[in-house]
Amino acid sequence: RKPFCSSGSIITIAIMCADRREFCNGQLLTPEEVRQSEHDGLVLSLDRRLGQTESGEPRVLVLFDGLCRLCQMFCDFAIQRDPSKRIAFAPLQSKLGQKVLQGFNFPKDLDSVVLYRSGEAYIKSEAALNVLGMLDSPWSALSYFSFLPQGLRDFGYEVVAKNRYGLLGHRTSDETGDVALASRLVDTWTPSPDDLLHTCKS
């Protein structure tokens, strides 16, 4: 005897198969809504972790290549001109760095500095110029180069980025004893020879 399957059952099964929603925090959400919920959770977590300056300004986060000496010097340059301690730092390769990259759909081996500020993330020339614009220094005027076409700005950034290890070598901030940078780190990273993120690509 063949099992009976009504048209109503077929329609119900078809609807269930087409329904790609899943439970997230007690709610039935679509994959897009799940990603948005996870993104919003990351932003809330980051903003809480970074906190505010004494004057009430929200802090920002700069992610840098933890092996790049030139990148560390850029961080030190910013620290010396950031008396309000608005800028916090973390290596791209750290757990926090990887979480931010994933949350903003960047590749885990992104070859760029990243600036996180108030729910938005910037990379390459956009990140560098925004950081310069926050400094308490005449150097902040360099941020006006943002009027140049982004493609041109990013080309110049990438030329430097691809040669950064050749310019000043590669060492971690621990190896260089960078006390100023260490005091501003909100997460750290210790490289491992077995970790692909430890491999120099430039």
- Give tens-digit pLDDT for 114-149: 999 999 999 999 999 999 999 999 989 999 999 999
At residue 23, the pLDDT reads 59
d(CA 197, CA 172): 13
Residue 58 has pLDDT above 90, yes or no: yes
Q: Which residue type does 116 have?
A: Y
Please tell me the distance from the alpha carbon of residue 158 to that of residue 104, in angstroms, as a whole number. 20
Cβ contact 80:173 at 8 Å: no
Task: Give 120's DSSP letter.
Answer: E
Q: What is the mean pLDDT of residues 44-57?
A: 95
- pLDDT of 7 above 60: no
Which range, of 3-12, 59-68, 95-104, 180-189, averages the lowest pLDDT? 3-12
| pLDDT class of 200 with cuts at 50, 70, 90 | very low
Average of per-residue pLDDT across 85-100: 97
Residue matched to tokens 């916090």: 88
CA distances from 159 to 12, 127, 153, 166, 179 (A): 57, 16, 10, 12, 29
What residues have CB less than 8 Å from 148, skipping those under 6 apart?
none
Q: Which residues contact 24 (CB under 8 A, 6 or more apart)?
A: 33, 34, 37, 38
Percent of the chain with pLDDT over 90: 63
CA atoms of 37 and 51, how far apart (whole Å): 21
Cα angle: 11, vertex 16, 20; to 5 degrees? 140
Q: How many CB atoms lie within 10 A of CB 171?
A: 15
Q: Looking at 16-25, 43-52, 148-157, 166-175, which range is the least confident one?
A: 16-25
Mean predicted confidence (pLDDT) in 2-23: 55
Calpha distance 100→110 (Å, rounded):
11
Residue 98: pLDDT band with limits 50, 70, 90: very high
Q: What is the pLDDT of residue 75?
A: 96
d(CA 116, CA 139): 20
Average pLDDT score, the chain: 85
